[in-house]
Structure 1
């Protein structure tokens, strides 16, 4: 049976590197949205709690409910069905219209558009938004933004940081006028956190770095992160093929000699992207995936009972012209997961 192994030692190694930046576990919010980037929502939540992380970020209320017992503070980024609440839940708000839809006493983080122009309230609508929260008896617990170029060598990052600093000052003035407590301010994702010297915000939302990757330009002095996930397949069948025989759909692989090959129970139906004869991929142990990956299995030039398909998503991301996020999040959430020390 296919399985995902989660390396606890590597996860804790990454979190310790993150702590060197934040200086406190209280300032780390681990991002667990989309099944913890494919690593397993509950599995990573349990490990994060064991490490001492008390804040988490998820996509939906359903995700938040599943991990409610593991964290003191959960930010929900993108859910429109908000019928169930907990004192630990904080709802991200992206528009003035959304403020009117929330029941009173809901804890709210306003997202402000500091220059990415994707989600968030416009800067010139901040006063209206905060007054709206006040009138609706909503609790203003956070204000945040997201960077469009934290992973690239560009001035955009510093421009947005400057915008957010100005926004924070405006928000402080509005809160003082209304005599309400200041919200928690946060803007840094993984890439931004490792570009900021003397981190001074209330917390960072750390996702991909927790899992061992950092999608930034090579010029940056990135930390030595270690991938947490490895994907394993179990042998289905073995056969001997002759030189010149073809393997799989389209006969894309042609044997250069007599050889032993086996099929394993991992395919694109499991979320492992479809390889074909145009892209040569070598497993960590040095085996080659032969020809096209099928929906439920793939062929490899070996006879091992179990093989590691990948333990570092970067090579596959390069082959598929994508990012490590997509390689890990696309894996079927039903794949069995095991935690190794």
Structure 2
């Protein structure tokens, strides 16, 4: 199964860049959903707390409970019902019907659809939703949206920003009429944060940038972030592969000469997306993964006791024709973590 190594220095480097761009640590909510993008929920939450981050975003109530003591505010994105209460928890509300399922005094962040057309209430439902919050005796603590094109060169980003700005003004007017305190407004994800020249929202929800990547078009001046995770494998066995012998399923790799090879304890069963031997992949030290990756192991032209499989997933994302999020988030959450 190998191990995941978390580089604390790189994480703090990224959080420092993010905090300065957002105008303070209190303006940053670190996104920890899906096992902190494969990095380990408790490991990253603990380090973020040590750095001084006070807000977090998770997917489920179970995730929130595990890190409750580490943050002052935790936004839960996908929980329609809540069986426990905490002043720390804030529930994302995607539709008006969801309001009826929440117990009194629950903190809610209304999600508004500004153009992504995935989740969130429509603009014309805004008044109804806020009145529903009052009727259900809920606490209106936040209003947010999500950008569909903050990472690409497109006017859609500014179109959604304009929509959200208009909605914020409407919310302020409704709250004034109902004598409600203003909620916290937030829309910026990682790419949006670094596209906004003068960040002026209550906080940013920063996911992929925390972990050292930013999938924004290269035309933008992106910060120099550092990948936080590296994946390591431990040697199982070593052999001499003779010239002409083929290794692994299908025998797609044939030894061009007598060579030393070893198998290591990482495979696609651990969430390391399967390499099929059609694309050459070299580890950071220059070793080659030979042939097809098996469920629980892979072969490398090395006899080192441990091998770093990757310390940057960009090349793997290119090989698999996917985004770096997927390479990271797919890793098995049971892989042991080590913080250095």
TM over 0.5: yes
Q: List aligned pairs for 1:284-295, cutoff 5 A.
A: 284-295=284-295
Q: List aligned pairs for 1:36-51, cutoff 5 A.
A: 36-51=36-51
CA distance in 1, matches of 2:7, 2:269: 24
Q: List aligned pairs for 1:114-153, cutoff 5 A.
A: 114-153=114-153
Match of 1:172 in 2: 172
Match of 1:270 in 2: 270
Kindly state the Cα deviation for residue 74 of structure 1 after the two structures are TM-superposed.
0.3
Match of 1:231 in 2: 231
- Deviations, residues 58-82 of structure 1 (Å, cap 9, x unaligned): 0000000000010000000011341
8 Å CA contact retained: 2:91, 2:109: yes
Tell me, which stretches of 5 or more residues in structure 1 are unaligned? none
Other structure's SS at 1:185 match: strand
Other structure's SS at 2:70 match: coil
- Deviations, residues 8-54 of structure 1 (Å, cap 9, x unaligned): 00000000110121111110000000100000000001000000000
CA distance in 2, matches of 1:70, 1:15: 16
- Deviations, residues 241-286 of structure 1 (Å, cap 9, x unaligned): 1111100000010111110000000000000000012111000000
CA distance in 1, matches of 2:316, 2:241: 27
TM-score, structure 2 normalization = 0.99
8 Å CA contact retained: 2:28, 2:55: yes
TM-score, structure 1 normalization = 0.99
CA distance in 2, matches of 1:255, 1:330: 31
CA distance in 1, matches of 2:323, 2:215: 7
Q: List aligned pairs for 1:13-24, cutoff 5 A.
A: 13-24=13-24
CA distance in 2, matches of 1:74, 1:242: 57
Match of 2:84 in 1: 84
Match of 1:208 in 2: 208
Match of 2:25 in 1: 25
RMSD: 0.6
Kindly state the Cα deviation for residue 179 of structure 1 after the two structures are TM-superposed.
0.3
Tell me, which stretches of 5 or more residues in structure 2 are unaligned? none
Match of 2:35 in 1: 35
Match of 2:102 in 1: 102
Other structure's SS at 1:318 match: helix
CA distance in 2, matches of 1:108, 1:225: 32
- Deviations, residues 200-238 of structure 1 (Å, cap 9, x unaligned): 100000010000000111111100000000000000000
Count of aligned positions: 340
Match of 1:306 in 2: 306
CA distance in 1, matches of 2:19, 2:52: 11
CA distance in 2, matches of 1:92, 1:28: 17
Match of 2:335 in 1: 335
Question: Is 1:182 paired with 2:182?
Answer: yes
- Deviations, residues 79-135 of structure 1 (Å, cap 9, x unaligned): 134111211000000001001111110000000000000000000100000000011
Q: Runs of 4 or more off by more than 4 Å in structure 1? A: none
Kindly state the Cα deviation for residue 315 of structure 1 after the two structures are TM-superposed.
0.6
Other structure's SS at 1:214 match: coil
Question: Is 1:244 paired with 2:276?
Answer: no
CA distance in 2, matches of 1:123, 1:9: 43
Question: Is 1:315 paired with 2:315?
Answer: yes
